[in-house]
Amino acid sequence: MARKKKEKSSPSDVIAIIKRIIAENGRDYIGTYALTVLCLLAVAGSGAFSAWIMRDVVDEIFYRQRYNLIWIICGSIVVAFMIRGLASYGQAVLLAKIGNNLVARYQQRLFDHLMRLGLGYFYTNRSGHLAARINQNVTGVRDLLGLTLTSVARDAVSIIGLVAVMIYQDPVLSAIALLIGPPLVLAINYLMRRLRRVTREAVEYNSRLIGAMQEATQGIAIVKAFTMEDQLAGKIADLIAIAENRANRIARVAERMSPISEVLAGFAIAGVIAYAGYRASMDHQPPGSVFSFITALLLAYDPARRLARVQVGLEKSLVNARMIYEILDIEPHQRDIPSAAELAVSQAEIDFRGVYFSYESGMPILQDVSFTAAAGKTTAIVGSSGAGKSTLVALLQRFYDLDAGVIAIDGQDISKVTKRSLRHALAYVSQQPYLFEGSIRDNIRYGRPDATDAEIEAASRLAQADDFIRQQKDGYDTLVGENGVTLSGGQRQRLSIARAMVRNAPILILDEATSALDNESELRVQEALATVMKGRTTIVIAHRLSTVVDADHIVVLHDGRVVEEGSHQALLAVPNGVYARFYRLPSEKGLQLVDDTQSAEAASPAARPRRKAAGRGSR
């Protein structure tokens, strides 16, 4: 029902959107728009002049045979068409310049806004669909302004000028010609109601199609490994068929305006010629005024037809612009408070005090979690899948806000400091490394934009990445391909570690940072991490107990609660302790952490939606 309400629009909706666009951008383009309007008025004026002068061409040169006026009339016509040509060129270039800048401006604005939105928005909107939707709709703002300006300043002014010439030459013939107006307006209103709904459906299906294609290419290795080619080809074929159907429906609805306007224009012109012929035969008047009138009528037909069709273009652009503003109007859920201060890190001690958290599903993930990550020490967080380990890290980075409790760094509540200063104090290595478009050097430098080449290479050596980087064709300048597709998983992980190292932040977060490495590489990276972790507060998310035995402090999570904490030896000494039970499992010894709750969760279909609703934040 909400969707249907959105589809209802009226002239006031168009005006409201245009007012908003002008309010946001008009001041920056007022000079360029003024020049554009002058050009458009010159085009309209030259057209009206061409129709008006036809009376003198016929009456003075051919009827009264005043041949001395030939050069004056011909010269004025040449000048009029020169003005028209230059003005047409000028308005086209100026409108293109404004339009291209508007597209660039809204692309930048959309990206900046998306970067301010929380992770929850991206978990509920597929990246491919979102990118396709933005690309399809971003031109709507440009087209809405361009169509409005050209239809008002050029076509509407042209029609006014030509109608004035028609009325001046013959009021009766003008009345006959203008009879087509009311039925044309009714036809436009009927077609627009049909077009509005189909246009939005087409945008949605095209976005789904482009998004599905993008996801298929990104996951091509999985597609081939599971022989999914035929399945995906069928899915894509269905989406293509639907998108084609919607595009054909738009064409059928939009192009109905052409036969309607042509038929009405045919009746109008035939009526004018019939009446003019009758009057000329009966009253024997000079034909100049009739020729001038017919010229004005024929010249007015083109802008009238464009004006009749402008509503079609406005409806399409209105749908596009509205969908862009639907994204821009989403309020970020995690704004910095007005009095937010910059985080000042001295010791980098982290306190979790009475932390409660649940995702939008309402299922509690963390309940009364309290512990301290001592300054300059390594704190490991262990527990079964779904215990809330990675959620704790997400909360420390303020990807989400707490339901209750406090997370403090050196006594400063992180909800009361700016997110930017908080995240500058953190270096993060995820379990699944992500590389961006560009070179290896660029990807490492994302850790700290002002890092020198020497610092990047030093961080790479610490991460045991320098050797394989130099073996690449272009060394540090080698392009990594989409998400590092040209590199192995272990190589991507070591680049991710180098990126964290070059950041040189006082707090280091490792989310099973060596999970993608072979035994030899893991040992070398563990040695490198041991060097980097010295003097830094480090939080390690552990899926394998063998990676945390040397941690200064271990926190054991179970069902979102802290059930045990202490050193490795102290926890092993707890009778029937959760940590001791995990460690003594025959399958452990460095393998994935498992317990009965994980097995039950994996086996229960009802549990899967809960984990998905948890926004991928808990493990």
92 and 165 both lie in a single domain: yes
Assess if residue 393 is contained within a domain.
yes
pLDDT in tens, 559-601: 889 999 998 889 888 888 888 887 776 544 443 444 333 333 3
198 and 116 both lie in a single domain: yes
63 and 198 both lie in a single domain: yes
H or E, element range at 371: strand 364-373
pLDDT of 563 reads 92
Count of all residues that appear for the chain in the document: 619
Residue-wise DSSP of 474-520 = TGGG-B--GGGTTS-HHHHHHHHHHHHHHH--SEEEEESTTTTS-HH
300 and 401 both lie in a single domain: no
Q: Which residue among 328, 363, 387 closes a domain?
A: 328
pLDDT of 601 reads 35
**Which tokens belong to 193?**
């109601």
pLDDT of 117 reads 82
136 and 205 both lie in a single domain: yes
Distance CA 88, CA 311 (A): 22
| Strand duo 537-542 + 412-413: pairing | unpaired
16 and 62 both lie in a single domain: yes
Q: By the 8 A CB rule, do 330 and 114 touch? A: no
Least confident of 28-32, 59-63, 438-442, 595-599: 595-599
3-state secondary structure of 46: helix
Assess if residue 491 is contained within a domain.
no
**Which tokens belong to 228?**
């999914």
Global confidence as pTM: 0.66
pLDDT of 351 reads 94
Name the nearest CA neighbour of 566 among 294, 382, 438. 382
Residue 148 CB coordination number (10 Å): 19
CATH code, domain with 77: 1.20.1560.10
Residue ranges of the alpha helices (H) in 256-383? 257-283, 288-328
Least confident of 330-344, 379-393, 444-458, 482-496: 482-496
- 63: pLDDT confidence band, cut at 50, 70 and 90? low
Assess if residue 338 is contained within a domain.
no
86 and 215 both lie in a single domain: yes
pLDDT of 545 reads 72
| C-alpha angle 563-567-570 in degrees, rounded to nearest 5 | 80
Distance CA 226, CA 445 (A): 36
Distance CA 249, CA 162 (A): 35
pLDDT of 11 reads 54
- 530: pLDDT confidence band, cut at 50, 70 and 90? confident
User: Under 8 Å CB-to-CB from 391, ≥6 apart: which residues?
Assistant: 357, 365, 366, 614, 617, 618
**Which tokens belong to 244?**
């084609």
**Domains in the chain, number:** 2
pLDDT beyond 50 at 8: no
Assess if residue 359 is contained within a domain.
yes
110 and 207 both lie in a single domain: yes
Assess if residue 383 is contained within a domain.
yes
592 and 541 both lie in a single domain: yes
Distance CA 223, CA 214 (A): 13
* Residue numbers of the domain that contains 543: 348-419+537-619
The overall average pLDDT reported for the chain is 77
Least confident of 67-71, 107-111, 593-597: 593-597
224 and 288 both lie in a single domain: yes
Distance CA 551, CA 538 (A): 9
More confident residue, 397 or 255: 397
Q: Which of 10-14, 135-139, 332-336, 473-477 has the highest mean pLDDT?
A: 473-477
Assess if residue 1 is contained within a domain.
no
Distance CA 410, CA 424 (A): 15
Assess if residue 126 is contained within a domain.
yes
pLDDT in tens, 231-269: 888 888 888 888 888 878 777 776 776 677 667 777 777
More confident residue, 433 or 185: 433
User: Under 8 Å CB-to-CB from 221, ≥6 apart: which residues?
Assistant: none
What phi, psi does 412 have (nearest 5°)?
-100, 120
pLDDT of 604 reads 34
Question: Position of tokens 């040449």?
Answer: 78
pLDDT of 516 reads 59
Distance CA 117, CA 400 (A): 11
H or E, element range at 615: none
CATH code, domain with 413: 3.40.50.300
Region of 371 (left: φ > 0; alpha: ψ -120 to 50; beta: rest) is beta
Q: Which residue among 328, 360, 383 closes a domain?
A: 328
pLDDT in tens, 174-218: 777 667 667 766 776 666 666 766 777 777 777 778 777 877 776
